[in-house]
Amino acid sequence: MPHPCCGLSLRQGTIIVSLIDIAGSVIGVFITVLSLIFLTCFRQDVRDFLEDEELSGKDGKEFLAILEQMGTLVILVITVGLVSALLQLALATFLYKGARERDAGSCQLWWKIKVVLFLLGVLLVSGMILVSQHPGQLAVSSVIGFVYHAYALWVVQAYIDEIRFGRKLQEEEGNCQRDTCA
């Protein structure tokens, strides 16, 4: 398998991937918490802002209509986003710990869950692109994210292989030494 880290070790690359995931998760938690605060504690201020067409534009009126019709659903979706960001943070922390301790099992768990999330994300974004009024913008930003996630999966899988191959090699060397000693 080719080396994906351009001068860094696979361990360092995996640690960087975990730190990027941690940073993204922290940002996600921050944004969803702020959204929940504004939509619950400052609901009237949000409505006033969205009603002012000079400040919010046409999209603000559309969001206000959605908020008026399905406010509880919007808050529920944001809450699910918060839970998701917290789980992503835990998962990224798990990868960081696995990379630091050279634990292939922890890294493999992260990899399996991320593959499922990656595939679900591709399906979700594909559906969103089909119904979006601005599919080009969504497609470009999504492709950038998907390329990063595919690269991150590649780095972590290469690191897992390195850990496992290294252990097999050590076991084989240990067996050869025992055979010659006997």
Per-residue pLDDT of the chain (182 residues; tens, 9 = 90+): 567 888 889 999 999 999 999 999 999 999 999 988 887 777 777 667 666 666 555 666 666 676 677 767 778 888 998 999 999 999 999 999 999 999 999 999 999 999 999 999 889 888 888 887 777 777 888 888 899 999 999 999 999 999 998 876 555 555 555 555 54
How many residues are recorded in the chain?
182
Domain total of the chain = 1
Query: Do 99 and 159 touch, CB atoms closer than 8 A?
Result: yes
Please tell me the distance from the alpha carbon of residue 11 to that of residue 15, in angstroms, as a whole number. Answer: 6
Give residue 169's pLDDT: 58
Per DSSP, 8 falls in state S
- Tens of pLDDT, residue by residue over 38-80, are 877 777 776 676 666 665 556 666 666 766 777 677 788 889 9
For residue 4, being part of any structural domain is answered with no
CB half-sphere exposure, 134, CA atoms < 13 A:
6
Indicate left, alpha or beta for 7 from its phi (over 0: left) and psi (-120 to 50: alpha).
left
Angle value at C-alpha 116, between 168 and 145, nearest 5 degrees? 100
pLDDT at 129: 81
pLDDT of residue 7: 83
Q: What is the pLDDT of residue 146?
A: 92
Helices and strands, number each (H, E), in the chain: 5, 0
Measured distance CA(177)–CA(182) in Å, rounded: 9
**Is 1 contained in some domain?**
no
State the Rg of the chain over Cα.
Answer: 23
Residue 3 lies inside a defined structural domain of this protein? no
Domain span including residue 127: 10-177
